[in-house]
Amino acid sequence: MSFNSDRQIEISKKLRIYYILALLSVAIFSIIGQIVVQYAISKQKSEATVINLAGRQRMLSQRICKNVLMISPQNKFMQDSISAYRKDLLEIIPIWENVHLGLKSENLQSNGASINVINSEKINEMFKEIDPIFLNILKASKDIVLLNENSNIETLNFKTNIILQNERKFLSNMDRIVFQYDKEAKEQMAHLKNIEFILFIITILILFLEGIFIFKPLHHQVTQIISGLFESEKNLFHLNTKLNSTNDSLIKTQKELVQTTEDKFKLQLHEGKVRSASLIEGQEDERKRIAFELHDGLGQMLTGLKLTSERIPENELGSEKNINTMKELKQFINETIEETRTISFNLAPSVLNDFGIFSALKILLENSTKNTNIKYNLIFQEIEKRFISNIEISLYRIAQESINNIQKHANASIIEIEIKFDSNFVHLIITDDGNGFDLKKKKSQSLKNGIRNMKSRAEVNQGDFKISSIVGKGTKIVVKLPLK
């Protein structure tokens, strides 16, 4: 059985589409049903409030009638409470008026909230019929409130009679309005129930169709797939056994290959360090040879040339021009001798072998800063301390390279070199207050080469080399070399 055939993929796509459409349909009709229910609840609340306020209009009209009768001069037994009834009447009339006008105009306000009022044509006709009655009672009530106790009794009685004559008609018409509100609310609720029932039937029908056209084929396909999976699982178990055996062999081979690679890398790294050490040692030997030849060969020849020139008397030179030329020649010979000594010292300072690293660095700093505005500060833990030859040479060459870079690129005003040590390591710290640079964007090729040379010398001696620099704030180099 092939589970990746085009037929199965096509069936899976169709079932997925049908399933999504069915779920979407159920969700849509469920949402619509929920919206209808919530709308019905909200509308029912509003309609209940409208019916309640409409019914309350009957009660308020009766209270108005009662209070008018109680403040009538003919009521001899309640004369002491007339002011209270008049106050009650003043409070009732605005409420009764506002509710009536709000119901009529479909803009009802209750407790600061707006209530949705929808009047049918029949209710609007009823309000047209009750309006004259309402206005008669309202006008008469307001007139009575404005009259005082000393007003004309006949006027008061006349207004009271108007209210009594219209009160029964108002109650009758208001009853009809309340019953009509209630009837329309029940009809609307019945209509919403029918809609909700239809949505429920459609949802059930969709679920039924899902069962026939989706879940049943899906069940059949899933059963086939599970059967195929069990068969595949058996085959996979046998293949897995074989793969585990092969995998063990591969892991063993991989470990051997990794070990061989590591050994090869370590050997190459060791050979590289040996070559670097040999190269540096060869460079130092060549430096010493050239320094020796400069000092004992070219230096002696220049010294002899200087002595020979000094034996020529000035009175034998003749003209003043020859005398000045001889002076310039002697000066040039002196400068050449001095430069030869400086080159010889830089190539292989004899003071390094004779007196140690401190004296060699002191002379190096003096010579390097002699004709500049750079100041230096040399800090040494123990001036007479000596290290093995290759350590002192490496410290000197790193310091020499660093000072050379500072003079060329840093534009510094002070150089500080510190050497400190313990039983295991010696530390060389070189700082300057120069321009600094971005380590990711080195300024020149000579600076790159200088840093690379210093790092190589530290690594050849199994040491660490670190450099940090901030643009505008200077550079710091820290070298750590093992003493053993």
Q: Which pLDDT value is given to residue 204?
A: 84
Residues contacting residue 372 through CB under 8 Å, at least 6 positions apart? 407
The CATH superfamily of 350-482 is Histidine kinase-like ATPase, C-terminal domain (3.30.565.10)
pLDDT by 10s per residue, the chain, length 484: 444 556 667 666 766 776 677 677 777 867 776 676 666 566 556 777 778 888 888 888 888 888 888 876 655 555 556 778 788 888 888 888 888 888 888 777 776 667 777 888 888 898 898 989 989 888 888 888 787 655 667 777 888 888 888 888 888 888 888 888 888 888 888 887 888 788 788 878 877 887 787 777 767 776 777 777 778 788 888 888 888 888 888 888 888 888 877 777 677 666 655 565 555 555 655 555 565 555 555 656 666 666 666 666 666 666 777 767 777 777 777 767 766 666 756 665 777 778 888 888 888 888 888 888 889 999 988 888 888 888 888 888 899 889 988 888 888 999 999 999 888 899 999 999 988 888 777 656 667 788 888 888 888 888 999 999 888 889 999 999 998 7
User: In 3-state terms, the chain is what percent helix, strand and coil (to 5)?
Assistant: 75, 10, 15
Q: Which pLDDT value is given to residue 3?
A: 43
Residue 377's SS3 state is: strand
Tell me the pairing of strands 474-482 and 425-432: antiparallel
| Beta carbons of 337 and 373 less than 8 angstroms apart | no
215 secondary structure, DSSP code = I
**Alpha carbon distance 441, 436 (integer Å):** 11
The CATH code belonging to domain 6-231 is 1.20.120.1730
DSSP symbols for 57-69: HHHHHHHHHHHHH
Q: How many residues does the chain have?
A: 484
Residue 439's SS3 state is: coil
Task: Provide the whole-model pTM.
Answer: 0.40
Residues contacting residue 59 through CB under 8 Å, at least 6 positions apart? none
The dihedral of CA 188, 190, 194, 197: what is its sign? positive
**Alpha carbon distance 412, 472 (integer Å):** 10
Q: Which pLDDT value is given to residue 11?
A: 64
Give the bridge partners for 379, in sequence order. Answer: 418
Domain boundaries, the chain: 6-231, 350-482
**Alpha carbon distance 475, 431 (integer Å):** 6
Cα distances from 172 to residues 74, 94, 185, 305, in angstroms, run 27, 22, 20, 147
Q: Which pLDDT value is given to residue 293?
A: 54
Q: Which pLDDT value is given to residue 427?
A: 93
Name the token pair of 137: 């009672």
**Alpha carbon distance 448, 436 (integer Å):** 14
